[in-house]
């Protein structure tokens, strides 16, 4: 074999090994699949995930089980990338679907949640651009879409509709822009009233070695956590939780857990959907945006150059 050709093959193989090592032991890239984390991260952007932020979770969990080098806890308000806690059909944790959310609760925290498990404590009000649901007459749909286009408001599609009313999601700022664009006329866009139970319930995020009291409103959440992550046989009979065949009023946990939330409350791909996130499901911290491009644009158009290599926060 030609020596020069051999050197090229050796260099290429070395580069591949370096990339695989970096991907497995330092950083990995992740594509943002939805609008749940806007305006921190936009749909379609690609980010680098720092695997050492909370200690490196040893790869190939099918061979080595769960181990983490230089382990450190997730901090409140960190934007975290993790494996789907509810994806139990795949027994190997690091092969499960990947999610991204903001950490709202760390082990031992007490959060106040509504009937849908949305955090309503002051700690949850971190994002002034958090989206809410608004309704308006269906006959105004063409006007709304025209105003959204003029004001460069992202069209996330209808969140609900019937013959007389349409429902969309807007941030407070987007609602302000639409209100101003109507030139002082009566605004026909109204916040969607919440007719559900608004009384807050205290949600304790489980800490390793902690007992948590079972209540009627958290019994299903605790039962699911015990079954999926604690390896317990648990079931609910007549509003009573049975663990390993015995009725109990308190649950004991052997792992640390986190409560994750989307920036936009209308997006349910967070702990309201899959419950507590165990420490062993955490991959790393969202670090840097390395690619950003508008949807449905040409090959050389629509790049958000001001967002390239921006720190995620």
pLDDT value for 124: 44
Q: How many angstroms separate the CA atoms of 57 and 220, rounded?
A: 29
Query: Using the 8-state DSSP alphabet, how is residue 129 labeled?
Result: T
Handedness of CA 27, 36, 258, 74 (dihedral sign): positive
- Bin 183: left if φ > 0, else alpha if -120 < ψ < 50, else beta: left
pLDDT value for 128: 56
> End-to-end CA distance of the chain, in Å?
52
Q: What is the CB neighbour count within 10 angstroms for residue 276?
A: 25
pLDDT tens, residue order, the chain (313 aa): 566 655 555 555 554 444 444 455 568 999 998 888 988 999 889 999 999 999 999 888 888 889 999 999 999 999 999 999 999 999 999 999 999 999 999 999 999 998 889 887 554 445 556 678 889 999 989 999 999 998 988 888 887 778 889 988 888 888 888 888 887 567 788 887 654 445 688 999 999 999 999 999 999 999 999 999 999 999 999 999 999 999 999 999 999 999 999 988 777 789 999 999 999 999 999 999 999 987 655 555 678 888 898 999 8
CB 304 within 8 A of CB 289: no
| pTM across the whole model | 0.72
Q: How many angstroms separate the CA atoms of 31 and 292, rounded?
A: 10
């Amino acid at each position: 074999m030609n020596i020069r050709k051999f050197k090229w093959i050796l260099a290429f193989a070395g580069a591949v090994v370096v990339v695989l090592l970096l991907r497995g032991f330092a950083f990995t890239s992740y594509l943002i699949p939805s609008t749940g984390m806007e305006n921190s991260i936009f749909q379609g952007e690609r980010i680098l995930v720092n695997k050492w932020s909370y200690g490196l979770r040893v790869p190939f969990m099918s061979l080595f089980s769960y181990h983490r080098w230089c382990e450190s806890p997730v901090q409140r308000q960190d934007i975290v990338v993790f494996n789907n806690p509810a994806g139990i059909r795949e027994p190997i944790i690091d092969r499960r679907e990947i999610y991204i959310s903001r950490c709202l609760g760390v082990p031992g925290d007490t959060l106040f949640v509504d009937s849908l498990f949305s955090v309503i404590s002051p700690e949850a009000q971190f994002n002034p651009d958090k989206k809410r649901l608004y309704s308006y007459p269906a006959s105004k749909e063409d006007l709304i879409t025209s105003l959204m286009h003029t004001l460069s408001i992202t069209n996330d599609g209808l969140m609900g509709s019937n013959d007389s009313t349409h429902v969309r999601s807007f941030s407070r700022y987007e609602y302000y822009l639409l209100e101003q664009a109507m030139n002082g006329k009566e605004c026909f866009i109204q916040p969607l009233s919440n007719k559900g139970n608004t009384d807050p319930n205290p949600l304790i995020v489980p800490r390793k070695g902690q007992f948590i009291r079972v209540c009627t409103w958290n019994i299903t959440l605790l039962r699911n956590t015990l079954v999926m992550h604690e390896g317990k046989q648990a079931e609910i009979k007549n509003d009573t939780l049975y663990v390993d065949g015995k009725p109990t009023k308190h649950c004991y946990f052997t792992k640390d857990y986190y409560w994750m939330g989307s920036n936009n409350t209308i997006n349910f791909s967070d702990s309201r959907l899959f419950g507590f996130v165990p420490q062993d499901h955490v991959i790393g911290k969202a670090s840097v945006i390395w690619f950003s491009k508008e949807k449905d644009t040409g090959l050389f158009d629509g790049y958000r150059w001001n967002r390239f290599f921006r720190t995620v926060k």
